[in-house]
Amino acid sequence: MNSAVNENQTSGREVMEYDVIVVGAGPAGLACAIRLKQLKQDLAVAVIEKSAEVGSHILSGAVIEPEPLDELLPGWKEQPPPICVAVKSDQFFYLKKDRKVRLPTPPQQKNHGNYIVSLGAMCNWLAGHAENAGVDIFPGFAADGIRYQDDGSVGGVIIGDMGVDRGGNPKDTYMQGIEIHAPMTILAEGCRGHLSKQLIAQYELDKDSDPQTYGIGIKELWKVEPGKSIPGRVQHTLGWPLDPSIYGGSFIYHLENDLVAIGFVCGLDYADPEFSPFEAFQQLKHHPMVKPMLEGGEIISSGARAIVEGGYQSLPRVEMPGALLIGDAAGLLNVPKIKGTHQAMRSGMLAAEHIVQSGSSEGFDRKLRDSAVMAELHKVRNIRPGFQRGLWKGLFTAAIETLTMGKLKRTLANHSDHDQLSRSSEYKTPERQWVDRELPPRDRLASVYFATTEHDEDQPVHLQIIDPDICTTRCSIEFNNPCTRFCPADVYEMVNDIDGPRLQINAANCVHCKTCDIKDPYQIINWVTPEGGSGPNYQNL
C-alpha cells in the first residue's frame, strides 16, 4: 500500500494519497478497482462509498448478464454471491385493470443464461473480492467535493466533514474530512451522481449530447407464503396502472426461499403534475395477477433509485483531465433490456485497462465509444425515445428498431425530463381506474420504514433549494408542488403555518434516489451528500 498521510499546506486538511481513487462501490467502481489490481498489483487503489456498508445504498431488480463477471472473476460460480438464481422462464404481459394479456417475450427480454441477483448483496460480495485483491475500501465516507490541481485538472476528492450541526457549526464530535489526492479519479456514483453532475457542468461534458433522461425505480423484497414463488421465473408487465402517456412497467423476479423481488419503473418525463410513482407501484401490487401472490406475505425491504435512460444520444464526454465517468454516472444502462450492471462492469474494466495502458484519462472517451458497451447502446438507441409519443407508437417504433437491429440511419432525440411536466391548469389527469389498497405499506412513510433509512437529524439539510420562494409562490400555482408526490420517501411536505404555507424538508427520510434533483420543473433542487454513513440500509435489495 502506498497511501501516504500528511498535512495539506493550503487547506489544513489531512491528505491521503493513492494512484487511483474510485468514488462509489457499485458494480462499475468495484469492477474497475479489481481490474486495476489484476493488471498492476502494485497500484494503490481505494474505493470510497457513502453508505455505511457496501450494498446498503444500491438496488436493482436485478437480472444480470454474467459475461463481464465471467471475464473479471472466472470461476465465480463456484462461490456465487448470496442471492443468485438462474433464470428459468421469461414472461411478458400487457395489463388492463382486471386482466392480463400474455405477449410474446421481446428479444431484449429473453434471459436464458442470466441470473437474478440482489445487486446490493452482489456488490458486498464484489467488495470482498476487491479487498482480497488489495483494494482499500472505505464505506461510510462520502466524497463531498472535487480537489482540483493548480492546472485545473481533477486531482482527487474531498471527504465530507462529519459532526456538523444543522446550522453548519461543528459539534463536539466534529471531524474534518480528509483529502484524497490521486492522479486519477473514477466517478462511479451511479445515476445522477452529485460530483458527476458538478464535473459535467464544470467541463461542459454534455454540450454535444442530448439532455440526459431518467426513470425512477421503486422496489420491494417480499417473503411470500410457501408455494407462491417459482424460483427463476422472470416477469415483466406494461400497461395498467399506467396510462399510455407514461412510459413504464413492472418487474417480478422470483428468488429462492419464498422471496420475490417486485418493482416498478417509470420514465420521469411524464406530464401529469399530479402523478405519484409510488402510488402507481402500490396499485400494480393490487392487480389480480399480483395480489394473490403477495397476500399473507411480508415486506422485508424496500427502496427507490432513479435510473438513467438516455443511453447513446445522451452520453456525455466521459473523460476530463484527471478523471473518468463510468457506469451509470456516465449513463450506460440498456433500457429495453432494463439492464445496466453488465454495462457498468464492462466500462469499469475498460477504464482500468485504459489507465494501466496510458496513465491518463485522455483517449478513454474514444475507447468507450468504440467498445461493445456503446455498440449495445447504439443498437437500442431509438427505442426509449419512441415512447415519447405514447405507449402504442413506442411499441411500434420498438418493433421496427428491433427488427432492423438499430441499423436505420435515424437517431431520435431525447428531451429533458423536467421540461415535460405540464402545468396543472393545462393537464387533465386521465381516469386511472386505481383501486382502494389493502396490502402494506400503507403509505410512503410506512415504506420508508422498510428502507431503514437513517440520518442524524442534527446535520445540514442535504437537499439544497436554490430559491425556496418559488415553492410557495410559482410552483404551488403552476404545478401544485409535484415534489410532494414524486418523492418516494415523503421528504417534501407543504405545511400550513400561521404565516402561510411553507415547504418542509424531512431530510431524514431521504433514500438518496435523486428523483427530486431530476424532476423538479425549476431545477432548483440540488442533492448533495449528507454525512457519510447516513441514508438507507438496504438488505438484499
Partner 1 sequence: MKILVGIKRVIDYNVRIRVKSDGSGVETDGVKMSINPFDEIALEEALRIREAGKADEVIVISAGGDECQQQIRTGLAMGADRGIQIKTEQDLQPLSIARALLYVIEKEDIGLVILGKQAIDNDNSQTGQMLAALWDRPQATFASKLELGDGTARVTREVDAGLETIDVELPAVITVDLRLNEPRFVKLPDIMKAKRKPLDVINLSDLSIGSEHDLVTVGTVPPFARARGVMVEDATQLVAELRQRGLV
- Residues interacting with partner 1, by CB under 8 A? 1, 3, 5, 14, 16, 52-53, 56, 82, 121, 124, 136, 138, 140-141, 159, 162-163, 172-173, 175, 178, 180, 300-301, 450, 452, 454, 537, 539-540
**Catalytic pick among 341, 347, 361, 397:** 341
Residue 136, helix vs strand vs coil = strand
CB-wise, 277 or 536, nearer to partner 1?
A: 536
Do 441 and 498 meet the contact criterion of CB atoms below 8 Å apart?
no
Active site residue 516: yes
Q: Whole-number minimum distance, CB 398 to partner 1, in Å? A: 37
Catalytic residue, candidates 35, 487, 515, 529: 487
Catalytic residue, candidates 361, 513, 515, 529: 513
As a residue count, the chain comes to 541
> Least Å distance between CB 250 and partner 1?
24
The one catalytic residue among 35, 305, 317, 346: 305
Catalytically annotated residue among 510, 515, 529, 534: 510
**Share of the chain residues as helix, strand and coil, in percent rounded to the nearest 5:** 30, 25, 45
Residue closer to partner 1 (CB basis): 83 or 293: 83
CA 258 from chain center: how many Å?
26
**Nearer Cβ to partner 1, position 63 or 162?**
162
Contact 221, 301 (CB under 8 A): yes
| Helices 119-132 + 27-39 axis angle, to 10 | 20
Closer residue to partner 1, CB minimum distance, 21 or 325: 21
By beta-carbon proximity to partner 1, the closer residue of 257 and 404 is: 257
Residue 348's alpha-carbon distances to 110, 306, 387, in angstroms, are 25, 20, 30
Closest distance to partner 1 from the beta carbon of 84 (Å)? 12
Q: Any catalytic annotation for residue 513?
A: yes
Q: How far is the CB of 180 from partner 1 (least distance, A)?
A: 8
Q: Contact, 527 vs 517, CB < 8 A?
A: yes
The residue ranges of DSSP E strands in 471-538, in sequence order, are 492-497, 500-505, 525-527
- Smallest separation, CB 78 to partner 1 (Å): 19
For every residue of 157-196, which 3-state class applies, written as one string?
A: EEECCEEECCCCCEEEEEECCCEEECCEEEECCCCCCHHH
Q: Name the residue type at position 315.
A: L
Cβ partners under 8 Å of residue 500, min gap 6:
472
Count Cβ atoms within 10 A of the Cβ of residue 466 and give its class: 0-12 exposed, 13-18 middle, 19 or more buried: exposed
Shortest spacing between CB 538 and partner 1, in angstroms:
10
What amino acid is encoded at 24 in this protein?
A: G
CB of 156 to partner 1, least distance (A): 12
CB of 437 to partner 1, least distance (A): 14
Of 5 and 498, which has the nearer Cβ to partner 1?
Answer: 5
| Closer of 64 and 238 to partner 1 (Cβ) | 64
Cα angle value 215/339/38 (rounded, 5°): 125
Contact between 378 and 406 under an 8 Å Cβ cutoff? The reply is yes
Burial of 186 (0-12, 13-18, 19+ CB in 10 A): buried
Nearest distance in Å: CB 535, partner 1: 10
Q: Of all helices (H) and strands (E), which one includes residue 351? A: helix 341-358
- Residue 510 bears catalytic tag: yes
Minimum CB distance to partner 1 smaller for 6 or for 358: 6
**Residue with Cβ nearer partner 1 (41 or 173):** 173
Nearest to 380 by CA among 310, 306, 308: 310
Distance CA 539, CA 302 (A): 9
Is the CB of residue 189 less than 8 Å from the CB of residue 58? Answer: no
Q: Please state the closest distance from residue 346 (CB atom) to partner 1, in A.
A: 27
Q: Report how far Cα 213 is from the mean position of its chain's Cα atoms.
A: 12
Report the alpha-carbon distance of residue 286 to residue 294 in Å, rounded: 9
Grid coordinates standing for 223?
417473503
Cα–Cα dist 32/19, whole Å: 13
Active site residue 341: yes
Cell representation of residue 345: 462492469
Q: One of 51, 56, 60, 424 is an active-site residue; which one?
A: 60
Backbone angles phi, psi at 489, to 5 degrees: -115, 10
At a CB cut-off of 8 Å and minimum separation 6, what does 78 contact? none
The amino acid that residue 185 corresponds to is T
Beta carbon nearer to partner 1, 136 or 493: 136
Catalytic residue flag (residue 11)? no
Point out the residues that are catalytic: 60, 305, 341, 487, 510, 513, 516
